[in-house]
Amino acid sequence: MLTALVNQKIFTTIHFTREDLKRVRSDGMQFQCPYCSSGLILRIGNRNVPHFAHVSHAGCIVEKENESPKHLLSKQLLYDRLNSLYKNVKLEHYLKEIKQIADIYVKTDDREIAIEIQCSTIPIPEMEERTHGYHRNGITPFWILTQSLKRKELLKLSTFQQAFIRYSPDLHYFLLHFLPEISSFHLYTHLYPVSNSRFLTEAPVTIPVDQITLPFTIPNASLQHPNPFSAWNHYRMKWIYNKLNYNKTGRDAFLREVYGEGDTFLYLPLYIGLPVIPHGMMIKNHEVEWQYYIWKDSLKKCGAFTVESVYHGLNKRLIEGHIELRGLPLIKIEEGLRNVVRGYLSLLEGLKVIERTDDQHFQQTNTWSCPNHFSAFEKHRHDFFPKWKHILKKV
């Protein structure tokens, strides 16, 4: 922690140089924990940000906080920046009503904001609970992820890191990542999953900490949109082969259903497993899975169907546990799953797999048949791609 009590007054290491702090320490100044009143020691190393630590850790609320060097440095950098912008900025601010310590608390003319810097992985329900706690008290939480991320051609995110994904109509699904070691944020925009944990995105935009404001605004809109449509089939096939490889035991429920229907998994039509931009993100399962369910539950029956009936079919799959939503606690999108269904049906309509019969109703243009051998699949490919290219032009 960066704050302590000295004679019942808040003392913050940030306001002093290392030399000042060393002098204060050798003068024998006594530091107390603001939360549990027990004694604190002042640590002034060469690498780490000077900070306080408990002499003994018996049952203090701060114990739960991760106080890695990265966390301390993040707190210091963000505090310095926000303190230069706003009058009322507090470090390690305890909120009695919800028994939580906000890393940084900012009160502007019209808002209260709690900055939560997260270096360690915590359970997502805990993150949700803390978020609700803030909201109940009229405070907007701002979660900041500082864990290292892995990125090659794709950005790899753990379930916990995915929980920091947010949404805006301009940036689509985006992730703001803080790198205290370079005093900057990296902003990854237009994220789109190609598997459970891998995402397409362009190289991140770097935003120096001394340019950030609250609410967060993106300094220049020179953002590149990745084009998931062009790469989708490569990743779709990769996913299919992986699934086949890992299912040597034959226990995969999805594959059992496909085989039970007499369909060939390797030759599923190409319109099963399409990227539905942007809200396809919401479903954790691969598109092949949930789109196959839609086809089986709604389209195959040859009768007319509506967005509503397809949505209800998909929702039933959700309730039965065949599909799962991605854990995105910072995103509240009304009608999320309905939007996914709408997006998918409009792709199918563009590909002339389905057609409108009136305002509300659709039907399949041809009776379904899954290619059952390679040459039939090749013919399907040959028919599919010109139509797909036509759709690409419109995107």
C-alpha angle 279-214-121 in degrees, rounded to nearest 5: 60
Instruction: Please state the length of the chain.
Output: 395
| Joined tokens for residue 383 | 């028919």
Output the DSSP codes for 120-175: S---HHHHHHHHHHHHHTTEEEEEEE-S--EESSSEE--HHHHTT-EEETTTEEEE
Segment near Zn ion (CB under 5 A); pick from 16-24, 27-35, 142-150, 364-372: 27-35
Q: Of the two residues 34 and 180, which places its CB atom closer to Zn ion in the complex?
A: 34
Instruction: Candidates 35, 52, 267, 311: give the one binding Zn ion (CB under 5 A).
Output: 35
Q: Of the two residues 86 and 94, which places its CB atom closer to Zn ion in the complex?
A: 94
Of residues 167, 169, 160, the one with CA closest to residue 197 = 160
Segment near Zn ion (CB under 5 A); pick from 32-40, 107-115, 311-319, 379-387: 32-40
CB of residue 94 vs Zn ion: minimum separation in angstroms?
A: 11
* Cα dihedral: 285, 289, 295, 298 (round 10): -50
Instruction: Candidates 4, 33, 113, 299: give the one binding Zn ion (CB under 5 A).
Output: 33
Q: Of the two residues 9 and 47, which places its CB atom closer to Zn ion in the complex?
A: 9
CB contact at 8 A, 32 and 4: yes
Instruction: Candidates 36, 154, 179, 218: give the one binding Zn ion (CB under 5 A).
Output: 36
| Joined tokens for residue 143 | 């979660």
Burial of 17 (0-12, 13-18, 19+ CB in 10 A): exposed
Instruction: Candidates 60, 124, 149, 330: give the one binding Zn ion (CB under 5 A).
Output: 60
CB of residue 75 vs Zn ion: minimum separation in angstroms?
A: 16
CB of residue 394 vs Zn ion: minimum separation in angstroms?
A: 59
**Beta-carbon-side half-sphere exposure of residue 202 (alpha carbons within 13 Å):** 13
DSSP designation for 226: P
Please state the φ and ψ torsions of residue 379, each to the nearest 5 degrees: -65, -40
Q: How many CB atoms lie within 10 A of CB 195?
A: 13
Count of residues engaged in binding Zn ion, rule: CB under 5 A: 5
CB of residue 60 vs Zn ion: minimum separation in angstroms?
A: 3
Q: Of the two residues 67 and 287, which places its CB atom closer to Zn ion in the complex?
A: 67
Q: Of the two residues 63 and 170, which places its CB atom closer to Zn ion in the complex?
A: 63
CB contact at 8 A, 175 and 165: yes
Segment near Zn ion (CB under 5 A); pick from 25-33, 283-291, 336-344, 362-370: 25-33
Q: Of the two residues 33 and 200, which places its CB atom closer to Zn ion in the complex?
A: 33
Segment near Zn ion (CB under 5 A); pick from 29-37, 203-211, 310-318, 342-350: 29-37
Q: Of the two residues 62 and 78, which places its CB atom closer to Zn ion in the complex?
A: 62
CB of residue 102 vs Zn ion: minimum separation in angstroms?
A: 16
DSSP designation for 271: T
Binding to Zn ion by residue 5, rule CB under 5 A? no
- Spell out, one character per residue from 357 to 386, where the chain touches Zn ion: x when CB under 5 A holds, - when not: ------------------------------
Q: Of the two residues 62 and 282, which places its CB atom closer to Zn ion in the complex?
A: 62
- Across the strands, what pairs with 355? 363
CB of residue 25 vs Zn ion: minimum separation in angstroms?
A: 19
For residues 344 and 272, what is the distance between their CA atoms, to the nearest angstrom?
Answer: 10
Burial of 338 (0-12, 13-18, 19+ CB in 10 A): middle
H helices present in 153-227, as ranges:
159-162
Name the packing angle between helices 374-394 and 336-350 (round to 10°). Answer: 110
Q: Which residues contribute to the site for Zn ion (CB under 5 A)?
A: 33, 35-36, 60, 62
